[in-house]
């Protein structure tokens, strides 16, 4: 049975690789081979294909049914998707007006199909909510499926931090690690991942499994190369599904992040670390802002046990962070050239996270399971909640981050690049000498999420993994490893090309 599953997985992996090569290279031989493999897969794996198709369509059907969208709105929604395909065919395929020569056609089509997010600017916000829910459903279904095909060594363990769902992510062969009961004797490094989604979408444990697992795998390889396979610590990912708006408003997400961080440092953790320096906090988009906000909360003693400051993580790695909710609430312009994240979407996420749903009168009250005093104290750090340092880290006193190595990656074509560049300017004021910022040309919001399609995405994953491994290694044992490339040594902004070449 196991060999049969391995054969099926191998066949699917081979098919996907050929699909990717046909898309990226576009040679006639590849396309002919692709057709043959599709016929082979359809003949030999028809049951698997039908199961995947049934589950995905059923998930979509249940999503639309749950949203209770009227037929007129469904027709309008469908027309926008059709319009996206027409724009792609005419503009990109026929007229050859490419957004960027670095983007595969599949990525350009996906970006074009996401343009219905602009519907929020019209009167039909229900349609926008449906679009977002559909995106959520598809990402949560297909990304874990692809993760297990592309990275066959992935293993997951479900866990909970109180009422917060979580998952441990393992990569590599099982026999390499000596197991003892529910714990292991070898040293542990945890990549604590806080997912994006504007504080209102996605669950992390499914939607970001592939991204987190790829970071874990690459970071493990970096440790192995630096220290040797027999000495290197074991790298494990840890993803939480923190409570989201509009039901749970700020600072509930920060509270959940701090609570889970405390769990990792405790003896009751399934894979306990020896010190906070063995934790690397990672996140994308809203999760990137949450990663920095959580670190600030730890340094100030907000939402922590007994209200005392806690030791900070060994390193932070974030991509396309959402750092300034004040700008979003003011509905200021975001200059995006190639991006699916619109100004309307950014505004909606910030509004729901800070103030909740207007129909929910209890949205600004501490939720069940929270410490009411600590929750209210964290929310009222400033009179303007949008300027709260735990909601908008860009406006915080960044002094506590001086000794924390941080790497921030962003695309030069995304709207939220303005947050990253603003943080770079403030970092100079506060002397954040261990901050590294990388700007990738012709890339959009959280592009490393599509590293399996984008060479620049793979470069970003590799560079972040190298940064985290070397910084944690230096912080832990003072191991003399070769320094990272100069753009990572001090606070600087670097432009990264597709092939990894850098310009200051």
380: number of CA atoms within 13 Å, CB side? Answer: 9
Whole-number Å distance between alpha carbons of 192 and 190: 6
If 0-12 CB within 10 Å is exposed, 13-18 middle and 19+ buried, where does residue 62 land?
A: exposed
313 touches 279 (CB < 8 A): yes
Instruction: Give, in degrees to the nearest 5, the angle at Cα 449 between 447 and 386.
Output: 75
- Check whether residue 297 and residue 426 sit in a common domain: yes
Is there a single domain that holds both residue 84 and residue 186?
Answer: no
Contact between 473 and 479 under an 8 Å Cβ cutoff? The reply is yes
The two counts, helices (H) then strands (E), for the chain are 15, 12
66 in the same domain as 157: no
- Whether residue 284 sits in one domain with residue 155: yes
Choosing from 89, 112, 140, the residue where a domain stops is 140
Domain assignment present for 62: yes
* pLDDT for the residue numbered 490: 41
Instruction: Identify the bridge partners of residue 159 per DSSP, sorted by sequence position.
Output: 166
The reported pLDDT for the residue numbered 346 is 86
Instruction: Tell me if 12 is assigned to some domain.
Output: yes
136 and 173 in a single domain? The answer is: no
Q: Domain of 481: which CATH number? A: 3.40.50.1820
Instruction: Return the pLDDT at 93.
Output: 65
Work out whether the CA dihedral 28, 104, 196, 476 comes out positive or negative: positive
Q: Domain for residue 357, yes or no?
A: yes
Query: What are the backbone angles phi and psi of residue 175, rounded to the nearest 5°?
Result: -65, -15
Both 381 and 475 in a single domain? yes
Q: Are residues 275 and 353 in the same domain?
A: yes
Residue 477, burial from CB neighbour count under 10 angstroms (0-12, 13-18, 19+)? middle
Q: Are 354 and 386 in contact (CB under 8 A)?
A: yes
**Which domain-ending residue is among 140, 169, 197?**
140
Please, how many CA atoms are within 13 Å of residue 304, restricted to the half-sphere of its CB?
19
Residues 169 and 313 in one domain: yes
Is the Cβ–Cβ distance between 469 and 484 less than 8 Å? no
* CA nearest neighbour of 116 among 127, 126, 108, 105: 127
CA separation for the pair 419, 230 (Å, rounded): 41
Report pLDDT for 334.
76
Final residue of a structural domain among 116, 140, 164: 140
User: The dihedral of CA 374, 368, 193, 153: what is its sign?
Assistant: positive
**What is the reported pLDDT for 191?**
98
Q: At 152, list the tokens.
A: 């066959």
Do 10 and 95 fall into the same domain? yes
Range of the domain at 260: 151-503
Strand partners for 236 = 190
- As for how many domains the chain has, the answer is 2
Domain assignment present for residue 146? The answer is: no
Q: What is the CA radius of gyration of the chain?
A: 22
Is 389 inside any structural domain?
Answer: yes
**In this structure, is residue 145 part of a structural domain?**
no
In terms of domains, do 353 and 433 share one? yes
Residue that is written with structure tokens 């303005």 in the block: 418
**Which ranges of the chain have pLDDT less than 50?**
1-2, 4-5, 22-34, 36-37, 39-45, 48, 116-117, 119-124, 178-185, 479-491
Contact 48, 15 (CB under 8 A): no
Q: What is the pLDDT of residues 322-331, one digit of tens each?
A: 999 999 888 7
Same-domain status, 285 and 211:
yes
35 plus 12 within the same structural domain:
yes
pLDDT of residue 143: 72
Task: Provide the pairing of β-strand 502-503 with 492-496.
Answer: antiparallel
N- to C-terminal Cα separation, the chain: 54
């Amino acid at each position: 049975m196991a060999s049969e599953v391995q054969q099926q997985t191998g066949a699917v992996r081979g098919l996907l690789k050929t699909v990717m090569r046909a898309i990226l290279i576009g040679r006639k031989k590849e396309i002919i081979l692709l057709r043959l493999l599709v016929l082979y897969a359809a003949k030999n794996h028809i049951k698997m294909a039908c199961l995947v198709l049934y589950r995905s369509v059923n998930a979509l059907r249940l999503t639309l049914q749950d949203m209770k969208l009227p037929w007129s709105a469904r027709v309008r929604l469908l027309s926008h998707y059709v319009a996206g395909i027409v724009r792609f065919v005419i503009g990109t395929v026929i007229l050859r007006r490419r957004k960027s020569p670095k983007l595969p056609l599949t990525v350009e089509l996906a970006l074009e199909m996401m343009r219905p997010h602009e519907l929020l600017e019209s009167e039909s916000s229900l349609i926008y909510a449906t679009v977002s829910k559909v995106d959520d459903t598809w990402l949560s279904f297909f990304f874990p499926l692809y993760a297990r095909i592309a990275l066959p060594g992935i293993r997951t363990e479900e866990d909970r931090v109180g009422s917060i769902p979580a998952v441990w992510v393992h990569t590599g062969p099982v026999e390499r690690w000596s197991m003892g009961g529910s714990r292991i004797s070898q040293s542990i490094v945890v990549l604590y991942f806080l997912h994006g989604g504007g504080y209102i979408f996605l669950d992390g444990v499914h939607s970001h499994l592939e991204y987190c697992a790829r970071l874990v795998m690459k970071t493990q390889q970096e440790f192995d190369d630096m220290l040797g396979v027999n000495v290197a610590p074991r790298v494990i990912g840890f993803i939480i599904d923190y409570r989201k708006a509009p039901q749970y408003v700020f600072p509930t997400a920060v509270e959940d992040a701090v609570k889970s961080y405390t769990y990792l440092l405790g003896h009751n953790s399934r894979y306990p670390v020896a010190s906070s320096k063995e934790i690397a906090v990672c996140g994308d988009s809203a999760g990137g802002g949450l990663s920095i906000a959580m670190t600030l909360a730890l340094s100030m003693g907000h939402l922590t046990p007994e209200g005392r400051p806690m030791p900070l993580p060994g390193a932070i790695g974030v991509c396309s962070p959402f750092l300034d909710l004040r700008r979003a609430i003011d509905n200021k312009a975001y200059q995006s050239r190639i991006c699916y994240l619109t100004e309307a979407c950014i505004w909606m996420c910030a509004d729901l996270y800070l103030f909740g749903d207007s129909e929910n009168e209890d949205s600004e009250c501490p939720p069940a399971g929270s410490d009411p005093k600590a929750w209210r104290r964290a929310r009222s750090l400033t009179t303007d909640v949008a300027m709260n340092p735990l909601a908008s880290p860009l406006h915080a006193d960044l002094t506590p981050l001086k000794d924390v190595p941080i790497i921030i990656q962003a695309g030069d074509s995304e709207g939220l690049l303005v947050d990253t560049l603003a943080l770079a300017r403030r970092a100079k004021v506060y002397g954040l000498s261990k901050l590294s910022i990388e700007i990738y040309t012709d890339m959009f919001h959280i592009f490393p999420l599509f590293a399996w399609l984008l060479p620049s995405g793979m470069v970003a994953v590799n560079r972040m993994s190298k940064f985290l491994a070397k910084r944690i290694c230096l912080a832990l044992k003072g191991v003399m490893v070769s320094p990272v490339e100069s753009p990572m040594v001090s606070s600087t902004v670097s432009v990264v090309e597709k092939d990894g070449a850098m310009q200051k």
